[in-house]
Amino acid sequence: MDRWFAGVTRSLARRTSRRGFLGRLGAALVGGAAVPLLPVARAAAAGAREPAPGEPDPATPEGDPQACEYWRYCGVDGFLASCCGGTHRSCPPGTEMSPVTWVGTCRNPEDGKDYVISYNDCCGKNPCGRCFCSRNEGDKPVYYPSKANDINWCMGRAGVVYNSTTAIVLGVATEPDR
């Protein structure tokens, strides 16, 4: 047994260099450790594109909060917070959400219902400059400010510098918009 084992190791040592052996051993260890992760990574990637309840498929423009065609943006006029480090419902880090806003009504293609959307500006940092979106459905002149989207609503603690805009669902619209 001893002689057989010594023979095998000697012949292995003749055919391989130490560096090559270590390299192959390292590759096997790293590769082996990565294999169980792969299906998890695929599942996570698939989960990221799952529609939220009541939302259209995020693979379509009407369901993608970074697309101007996203259903909630029917009355928007500004840079999309979702392209600026925030989301369609939250402001980018370093900015503050305006407490006063203008509201619009958009139809959700998922259920065909109209929803009241609050377009809160994000304030206190230079204009984001990404994903400018101007759809203006239901926009009214600025002398009707609660329905006018062409107003800088940054008037709070963070100052008047406008960065971007969110689109937050307030509820189902119970009456036709006038």
Q: Which residues are catalytic?
A: 102, 121
Query: How many Cβ atoms sit within 10 Å of the Cβ of residue 137?
Result: 14
Among 100, 151, 155, 161, binds ligand ABN (CB under 6 A): 151
Q: Under 8 Å CB-to-CB from 11, ≥6 apart: which residues?
A: none
**Is residue 152 involved in binding ligand ABN (CB under 6 A)?**
yes
Cβ 91 to ligand ABN shortest distance, Å: 13
Query: How many Cβ atoms sit within 10 Å of the Cβ of residue 120?
Result: 24
Cβ 175 to ligand ABN shortest distance, Å: 24
**Is residue 150 involved in binding ligand ABN (CB under 6 A)?**
yes
In angstroms, the CA 129 to CA 78 distance is 9
Count of residues for the chain? 178
In angstroms, the CA 97 to CA 83 distance is 16
Cβ 77 to ligand ABN shortest distance, Å: 5
**Is residue 77 involved in binding ligand ABN (CB under 6 A)?**
yes
Q: Under 8 Å CB-to-CB from 152, ≥6 apart: which residues?
A: 121, 160, 162
Binding residues among 40-59 for ligand ABN as defined by CB under 6 A: none
Cβ 81 to ligand ABN shortest distance, Å: 11
Q: Which is nearer to ligand ABN, 108 or 120 (CB)?
A: 120
Q: Give the interface with ligand ABN as residue ranges (CB under 6 A).
A: 77-78, 121, 149-153, 162, 165
